[in-house]
Amino acid sequence: MTGRLDGRIALVFGAGSSGPGWGNGKAAAVLYAREGATVVAVDRNLAAAGETVGIIEGEGGKGFALAADVTQGGEVAATVADVVARCGRIDILHNNVGITEMGDLADITEQGWHRVMDVNLTSVFLTCKHVLPVMQGQGAGAIVNVSSLASVQINDYPYFSYYASKAGLNHFTRALAVRYAAQGIRANAVLPGVIDTPLIYQQIVSQYADAAAMKQARDKIAPMKRSGTAWDVARAALFLVSDEAAYITGVCLPVDGGLSCRA
């Protein structure tokens, strides 16, 4: 099926990729454009967002890149104002930015804790704070937040601030869904499990002997005995922002090869 997002404006925060290949945000941005959306690709790293837009335009799609740090309210507000000035509306808000910090409690600094909270959770408050008035004015909008299976299930990694921030993101998503449902705004989350993206080669690899050992070990974790891809996460997000999910809001959808079924 194509054209599921024809004429829509999709604002994707964290639309670049932290390394070569396909990150979750980059894949979602490209998939939204393939379905007809004009994609505003926002990233702290403008070159990374520009690369995503280059792929979109190379496939005949529409989009443009903007630089912003999602932890800075002023930058988020300016980005939203810029998009409204250029596009007139925002139909889809996709919050992809997320980081991890590994360490036992004794090793985690207050600064590190607050940084993860700012990047993973406060950022979503900020983007929603500034985009919601636009969606309320339209009487329509779809928000998708990229959480993690770690929000509901503890794994072997010692990333306390990540668990806490992503659990908070799930409940923030539900609160959004309930509060704004009657105004035509839907909010859902996707919970990726073990996904093979560039991010893990930077932020997870420290837990293994090397990248090959990480890949081999992670592939065994899910019942499907393989890691997922950024496209698996992007396709779930596409469904949730599309009209096919018109009666679905407040859902935290695992994309995890069955891992969440394990006790």
CB of 97 to ligand NAD, least distance (A): 4
Strand order in the sheet with 92-95: 62-67, 38-43, 9-13, 92-95, 141-146, 185-192, 252-255
Q: Collect all residues with Cβ–Cβ distance below 8 Å to 30 and sequence separation of at least 6.
A: 39, 52, 55, 56, 59, 61, 234
Instruction: By CB under 6 A, name the one of 31, 144, 146, 245 that touches ligand NAD.
Output: 146
From 19-27, 80-88, 103-111, 244-252, span contacting ligand NAD (CB under 6 A): 19-27
Q: Collect all residues with Cβ–Cβ distance below 8 Å to 187 and sequence separation of at least 6.
A: 128, 142, 143, 144, 145, 173, 174, 176, 177, 180, 249, 250
- Residue 35 vs 69, nearer CB to ligand NAD: 69
Q: How many C-beta neighbours within 10 Å does residue 50 have?
A: 18
CB of 247 to ligand NAD, least distance (A): 26
Instruction: By CB under 6 A, name the one of 200, 234, 238, 252 that touches ligand NAD.
Output: 200
Instruction: By CB under 6 A, name the one of 36, 45, 108, 158 that touches ligand NAD.
Output: 45
Residue 30 interacts with ligand NAD (CB under 6 A): yes or no: no
Place of tokens 């690709």: 41
Instruction: By CB under 6 A, name the one of 5, 10, 24, 128 that touches ligand NAD.
Output: 24
Question: For residues 111 and 117, what is the distance between their CA atoms, to the nearest angstrom?
Answer: 10
Instruction: By CB under 6 A, name the one of 9, 30, 33, 43 that touches ligand NAD.
Output: 43
Instruction: By CB under 6 A, name the one of 37, 55, 70, 234 that touches ligand NAD.
Output: 70
- Residue numbers annotated as active site: 162
* Structural Rg of the chain based on CA atoms: 17
CB of 216 to ligand NAD, least distance (A): 15
Strand partners, 65: 41
Q: Which residue is closest to ligand NAD by CB?
A: 98
Residues 5 and 37: beta-carbon distance below 8 Å: yes
Q: Give, as ranges, the residues between 153 and 172 that touch ligand NAD (CB under 6 A).
A: none
Instruction: By CB under 6 A, name the one of 12, 16, 142, 236 that touches ligand NAD.
Output: 16
Residue 69 interacts with ligand NAD (CB under 6 A): yes or no: yes
Question: For residues 53 and 58, what is the distance between their CA atoms, to the nearest angstrom?
Answer: 8
HSE-up of residue 115 (Cα within 13 Å, Cβ side): 10
Q: Give, as ranges, the residues between 169 and 198 that touch ligand NAD (CB under 6 A).
A: 192, 194-195, 197-198
Instruction: Give the closest residue to 157 by CA, choosing from 214, 218, 102.
Output: 102
Contact footprint for ligand NAD (CB under 6 A): 14, 16-18, 23-25, 43-45, 48, 69-71, 96-98, 119, 146, 148, 192, 194-195, 197-200, 230
